[in-house]
C-alpha cells in the first residue's frame, strides 16, 4: 500500500509540475502559496524562490509559480484549474499585470483567498530613460491599468523600499502597505577566488534599462582607459557596451547572462573585477529602487563605487564603498591605487550585508506578511 501511495504521489507531482513554471509541494501541513509572476527572473528568485525553498525544506510551505507567458499559453480560466489542483491558501502577484490580472484577482477574492501584490519599482510611471522596448512592454496602458487595479484591490501591497511604500500610500491611501527588505545577501553561497592579473578591471553589471545610468561614468572611463594602458572595462548583463568605449578594442568586453540567479552570482565573482560601478541618475523613478546591486557586488567580493543618492547613501556604511556626487574620476583612482582600500571595503561590506540582509530575516519577514494578510 505504501509503495502504491508513493507511486500515485509521484505521478501526481509529475502531472502538477507540467502545469506550473515552478512547483515545490509535498508538505501536508505547509501553507499553499500560488505566485503569479511577470517572469521567472531575478526579482522572483531573490524575493520569493530563494527564501521559500528554505521554508519548503522545513515543511512550512508548498509553492506553485506561473508566469505571464504561461498564463497566455493556457488561456482564460486556467487559474480555475490551478485552484482545483493546488488549492492555494494565499495568492501573490509579483510585478504582474496582463494577461487576465484583474480577472484572476477577482476569482480568488470571491473564494476568500488573500491576495498580496509585490512591487519593486514604480511600475505605474516609467521614465523615457528606460528605453523604447521597456516602455512598450512595461508601459502599455492596459498593463499599467491592470497593475493599478491589482494594487487597489489586493489585500496587502508588499513594497520593496520605504520610498516606494510612501509613494504607494499616497496613491492608495486605503490600502495596507508593507515595507520590507525583499532581497537576501547570498555571499555565503558564493566562492570568491581572486586571481592575480597583469591588469585591473572596472565593471558594470545591469540590464538594458540602465544605459542612461552607465552613461554618467562613460566620460571618466574614457579618460582612465586613455591614461592607463593596462586598464580594462567590462559589462555583465543585457546592458550594451557604450559606443564611445568600443575604440579600446580588446580592453573592453561584454558578458551576457545565461545562468540561474545563484549561478549568476558565481559568474559575477569569477569575472575578477577590481571595482564595481553602481551609478544611478537622481530621478524619482530611481529613488524607489533597492540597493540590490550593492549586495550582489559585495557577495561577489567586488568593492563598490556608487552614486551618492539615498538608494545607496542610506545603506553603505563608512568604509564599505565610495559614494560619488560628480567626481567619479577621483573615486575610481582611489580604489585603483589602493589594494588595501579595496580589500577593506569588501570586508566591511560583507560583514554588514550578511547581518542586515540575512536570508533568515527575509524568511521571517515573509512569514510575518503571510500571517498578517491571512487575518486581514
Q: Return the CATH number at 72.
A: 3.40.50.2000
Q: Same domain, yes or no, for 87 and 199?
A: no
Q: Same domain, yes or no, for 142 and 49?
A: yes
Strands (E), the chain: 22-24, 31-37, 61-67, 90-94, 115-119, 156-159, 177-179, 201-205, 232-236, 252-255, 275-278, 304-307, 322-324
* DSSP code of residue 337: T
| pLDDT tens digits, one per residue of 180-191 | 888 899 999 888
Number of domains in the chain: 2
CA distances from 246 to 233, 254, 265 (A): 10, 11, 26
In sequence order, what DSSP letters do the residues of 271-321 get, joined into one string?
T--SEEEE----SHHHHT---HHHHHHHHTT--EEEESSHHHHTTPPTTSS
- Cell 550593492 belongs to 294
Q: Same domain, yes or no, for 174 and 270?
A: no
Q: Are 61 and 55 spatial neighbours (Cβ–Cβ below 8 Å)?
A: yes
Give the pLDDT score at 16: 55
Cα separation of 60 and 323, whole Å? 41
| pLDDT tens digits, one per residue of 268-296 | 999 999 999 999 999 999 999 999 999 99
Give the pLDDT score at 4: 40
Percent of the chain having pLDDT more than 70? 94
Q: According to the 3-state scheme, what is the secondary structure of 5-55? A: HHHHHHHHHHHHHCCCCEEECCCCCCEEEEEEECCCCHHHHHHHHHHHHHH
Give the pLDDT score at 235: 98
Q: Are 191 and 221 spatial neighbours (Cβ–Cβ below 8 Å)?
A: no
Q: Same domain, yes or no, for 345 and 328?
A: yes
Q: Same domain, yes or no, for 16 and 165?
A: yes
Q: Same domain, yes or no, for 309 and 285?
A: yes
Residue 262 domain boundaries:
187-356
Q: How far is C-alpha 35 from the geometric centre of its chain's CA atoms?
A: 16
Look at residue 8 and tell me whether its pLDDT is greater than 50. no
Averaged over 97-101, what is the pLDDT? 96
Give the pLDDT score at 17: 54
Q: Same domain, yes or no, for 136 and 219?
A: no
Q: Same domain, yes or no, for 31 and 137?
A: yes
Grid coordinates representing 334? Answer: 582611489
Cα separation of 261 and 265, whole Å? 7
Give the pLDDT score at 376: 61
| pLDDT tens digits, one per residue of 15-65 | 455 699 999 999 999 999 999 999 999 899 999 999 999 999 999 999 999
Amino acid at each position: 500500500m505504501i509503495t502504491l501511495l508513493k507511486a500515485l504521489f509521484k505521478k501526481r507531482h509529475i502531472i502538477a509540475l507540467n502545469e506550473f513554471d515552478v512547483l515545490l509541494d509535498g508538505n501536508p501541513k505547509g501553507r499553499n502559496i500560488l505566485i503569479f509572476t511577470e517572469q521567472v527572473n531575478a526579482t522572483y528568485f531573490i524575493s520569493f524562490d530563494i527564501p521559500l525553498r528554505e521554508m519548503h525544506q522545513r515543511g512550512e510551505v508548498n509553492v506553485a509559480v506561473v508566469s505571464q507567458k504561461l498564463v497566455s499559453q493556457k488561456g482564460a480560466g486556467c487559474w480555475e484549474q490551478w485552484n482545483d489542483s493546488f488549492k492555494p491558501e494565499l495568492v501573490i502577484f509579483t510585478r504582474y499585470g496582463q494577461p487576465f490580472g484583474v480577472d484572476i484577482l477577482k476569482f480568488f477574492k470571491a473564494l476568500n483567498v488573500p491576495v498580496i501584490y509585490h512591487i519593486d519599482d514604480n511600475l505605474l510611471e516609467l521614465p523615457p530613460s528606460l528605453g523604447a522596448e521597456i516602455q512598450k512592454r512595461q508601459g502599455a496602458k492596459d498593463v499599467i491599468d491592470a497593475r493599478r487595479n491589482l494594487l487597489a484591490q489586493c489585500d496587502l501591497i508588499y513594497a520593496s523600499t520605504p520610498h516606494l511604500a510612501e509613494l504607494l500610500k499616497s496613491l492608495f491611501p486605503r490600502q495596507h502597505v508593507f515595507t520590507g527588505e525583499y532581497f537576501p545577501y547570498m555571499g555565503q553561497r558564493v566562492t570568491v577566488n581572486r586571481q592575480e592579473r597583469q591588469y585591473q578591471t572596472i565593471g558594470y553589471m545591469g540590464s538594458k534599462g540602465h544605459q542612461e545610468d552607465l552613461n554618467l561614468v562613460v566620460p571618466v572611463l574614457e579618460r582612465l582607459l586613455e591614461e592607463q594602458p593596462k586598464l580594462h572595462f567590462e559589462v555583465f548583463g543585457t546592458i550594451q557596451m557604450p559606443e564611445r568605449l568600443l575604440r579600446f578594442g580588446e580592453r573592453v568586453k561584454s558578458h551576457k547572462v545565461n545562468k540561474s540567479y545563484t549561478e549568476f552570482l558565481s559568474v559575477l565573482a569569477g569575472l575578477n573585477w577590481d571595482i564595481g560601478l553602481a551609478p544611478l541618475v537622481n530621478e524619482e523613478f530611481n529613488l524607489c529602487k533597492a540597493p540590490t546591486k550593492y549586495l550582489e557586488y559585495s557577495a561577489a567580493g567586488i568593492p563598490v563605487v556608487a552614486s551618492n543618492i539615498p538608494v545607496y547613501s542610506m545603506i553603505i556604511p563608512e568604509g564599505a564603498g565610495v559614494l560619488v556626487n560628480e567626481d567619479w574620476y577621483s573615486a575610481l583612482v582611489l580604489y585603483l591605487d589602493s589594494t588595501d582600500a579595496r580589500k577593506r571595503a569588501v570586508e566591511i561590506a560583507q560583514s554588514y550585508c550578511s547581518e542586515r540582509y540575512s536570508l533568515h530575516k527575509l524568511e521571517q519577514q515573509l512569514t510575518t506578511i503571510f500571517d498578517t494578510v491571512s487575518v486581514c
